[in-house]
Amino acid sequence: MFQEPTLTARPIDPAEPVFSLKEITELDVAEIIGSLKNSKAKDVHGLDTNIIKLCKESLLLPITHMVNLSFKQKYVPLSWKMATVTPIFKSGDSSNIGNYRPISILPVVSKVAEKWVTKLINEHLNKDHSLLHPMQFGFREHHSTEFANCLFIEKIKHMLDSNPCVGAVFLDLKKAFDTVNHEILLSKLTYLNFSMDAIQWIKSYLEFRKQCVCINGVKSTLLDVPVGLPQGSILGPLLFSMYINDLLNTCGNVEFQMYADDAVIFTSAKNIHEAASILTSALVPVNEWLSKSCLLLNTTKTVCMMFTKQPLDIKHSGIFLEGQELEIVSKFKYLGVTLDSTLSFKSHIKKISNTVKFNLNTVILNKYDHS
């Protein structure tokens, strides 16, 4: 259950950089439209990226005017906040709704405003590197998944040089983007020195959103989306990074690293029992923070790993969350890399090797089919 959120706001500190929305120029709009990915996927209004790119010269002036008017009035038009969701089948039982991935298509014109605001926010955050936690890697310039993985692995190796064991808990948040509380998010933006005009615009961006489902070209009626961040949006992931940023400050006795909602806490210890005890204690404030922020841990997918120089046969993690023991695993895919308990990377190398062999065989077969 979520706790009732306690909302606080901080007055703007004029001594620090203040985030405000700056006007966009036609040159900026042209650059943003050019950077959009080519796509024939149509939004709720029947437009796609290819059409906007084809008619770019004619649309520069009206789009520039609309975006700047939106900033001036601190209002995001309702027509920019309607999404078309197409369920894409992954695998398994086609009658199980859980086996579909929702792909959300947002209005093309709104992407121009979102890209510009995202650029402005990143510039603001980069002016003061203390605004975002250094161990928050999600959706930040020069903070790739590769960089996050390298840092995590090097820290584990360094810890194992001085202690025989490093325990880690890979946290899985349940539908994190879909449960973000708008009031809490707007409150957090005051601590990042956002102006009230900027906060009012973001408030308008978040509220009164709607979506419909499209299957085989047939659309459902539009339904309200009162909570969460817009799926498939450009601005949403950055807003999430700011929303969850202070989670990293909840427990100072363990290491904490995040890439968006992919989080891991870890600690070195003399043995696995000590590591389990430390991590169990660390999970208490983490879970409390998540509850207050209207986010939930998925205990069935939150798993543990004990890193050691020699492989150990560990049956139970000894790490508990709300009285439930978390699953212990010998390998885990973190940010695209399959880690094993001794950091041998054998599983990852084998998987990459098999993928390469499959792709090579496909190329060879296609070559003979067309010869």
| Average pLDDT of the residues in 336-350 | 93
User: What's the pLDDT tens digit per position in 185-197?
Assistant: 999 999 999 999 9
Among the residue ranges 117-121, 213-217, 266-270, the one predicted with the least confidence is 213-217
Cβ atoms of 146 and 153 within 8 Å: the answer is no
Task: Count CB atoms within 10 A of the CB of residue 269.
Answer: 19
pLDDT value at 7 more than 60: no
Q: Which DSSP string corresponds to 347-367?
A: HHHHHHHHHHHHHHHHHHHHH
pLDDT value at 205 more than 90: yes
Pairwise CA distance, residues 314 & 330, whole Å: 9
Pairwise CA distance, residues 272 & 278, whole Å: 10
Pairwise CA distance, residues 158 & 165, whole Å: 11
Angle between helices 108-127 and 56-73 (to 10 degrees): 60
Task: Count CB atoms within 10 A of the CB of residue 303.
Answer: 18
pLDDT value at 3 more than 90: no
218-219 vs 209-215, strand pairing mode: antiparallel
pLDDT at 208: 96
Residues 6+ apart with CB under 8 A from 371: none
pLDDT at 66: 98
Query: Mean pLDDT score of the chain, rounded to an integer?
Result: 91
Res. 1 pLDDT band, cuts 50 70 90: very low
Share of the chain above pLDDT 90, in %: 71
Task: Count CB atoms within 10 A of the CB of residue 167.
Answer: 31
Task: Count CB atoms within 10 A of the CB of residue 110.
Answer: 25
pLDDT value at 11 more than 90: no
**What is the value of pTM for the model shown?**
0.89
User: What's the pLDDT tens digit per position in 142-159?
Assistant: 788 999 999 999 999 999
Among the residue ranges 31-35, 120-124, 248-252, 327-331, the one predicted with the least confidence is 248-252
pLDDT at 369: 67
Q: In b/e form, how buried is each residue of 113-125, taking b as 16+ CB within 10 angstroms?
A: bbbbbbbbbeebb
| Average pLDDT of the residues in 120-140 | 87
Amino acid letter, 251? C
pLDDT value at 332 more than 60: yes
pLDDT value at 2 more than 60: no
